[in-house]
Amino acid sequence: MNEYAILSFHAAIILFGVILMTPLGESVGGFLANKWPSTSTKRGRMLAGLMLVCTGGFTVSAHTLWMHNKLSEGTSVCSGNSILNCDGLIGNPEYNTVPFINQPWGLLGMVAFCVLLWIVITVAKEPLAFATPTFLKAGLGATIAGLPVIGLLVSYEIKEGLICPFCTTAHIANIIAMVSFFVLLRMYESDEWAPELKNTRK
């Protein structure tokens, strides 16, 4: 299968997550509410959307780890004459591992998105817990910590004059997650987080 067709699967998961988080998600959430009642609320849709974004980030990271391994076998997985070329970056031993720990970037991405996913699932399961703001801040902090890493990887792309679409998809997922955690934190501080409690109080 063409590598860009596979990439579109990862991108579709992330895109669906983004749609759920936007005002468009209200109509989509209506269809999902029967199966997942939490998606009937704005908070539920935001958390469900963020879960999908993190899942998409995880799957695309796992795919880059697979590419890393296949390239070490000597197989070409995503090359071409255009600027879009993963082989030249994921297959380049100068850039394809995390400095100091010497592990593939894809593995770091898998771990990072799993941690984010754990935070989101925990918050979604217990949105009214005392630790919720701490978890949201941790998620925001973790995604902000990802920015210098993205900057480093983009600098490799600039140096090589290539763009790795799979890596870029993972970077975009991190940035979307960062914005989402920020929005969720703002929402927590407002009445939108638990409108049912607000009504109860009344």
Q: Is 122 in the site for other proteins (CB under 8 A)?
A: yes
Q: Is 131 in the site for other proteins (CB under 8 A)?
A: yes
Tell me the closest approach of the beta carbon of residue 117 to other proteins, in angstroms.
5
The CA distances from residue 9 to 15, 54, 55, in Å, are: 10, 14, 11
How far is it, in rounded angstroms, from Cα 165 to Cα 61? 12
Find the binder of other proteins among 24, 83, 111, 145 (CB under 8 A): 111
Tell me the closest approach of the beta carbon of residue 24 to other proteins, in angstroms.
27
Structural tokens at position 141: 């902090």
Q: Is 187 in the site for other proteins (CB under 8 A)?
A: no
Tell me the closest approach of the beta carbon of residue 157 to other proteins, in angstroms.
18
Residues 44-83, one symbol each (x = binds other proteins by CB under 8 A, - = not), give: -----------x--xx--x--xx-xxx-xxxxx-------
Find the binder of other proteins among 12, 24, 129, 144 (CB under 8 A): 129
Residues whose CB falls within 8 Å of the CB of residue 120, separated by 6 or more in sequence, listed in order: 47, 50, 51, 54, 139
Q: Is 194 in the site for other proteins (CB under 8 A)?
A: no
Please say which residue, 22 or 72, places its beta carbon nearer to other proteins. Answer: 72
SS3 84: strand
Measuring CA to CA, which residue among 175, 2, 176 is closest to residue 86?
2
Pair 113, 105: CB distance under 8 Å: no
Label residue 154 exposed, middle or buried (CB < 10 Å: 0-12, 13-18, 19+). Answer: middle
Tell me the closest approach of the beta carbon of residue 126 to other proteins, in angstroms.
4
Please say which residue, 15 or 107, places its beta carbon nearer to other proteins. Answer: 107
Measuring CA to CA, which residue among 153, 182, 176, 172 is closest to residue 86?
153
Q: Which stretch binds other proteins (CB under 8 A): 3-11, 20-28, 107-115, 168-176?
A: 107-115
Structural tokens at position 196: 């049912």
Interface residue list for other proteins (CB under 8 A) = 55, 58-59, 62, 65-66, 68-70, 72-76, 93, 110-111, 114-115, 117-118, 121-122, 125-126, 129-131
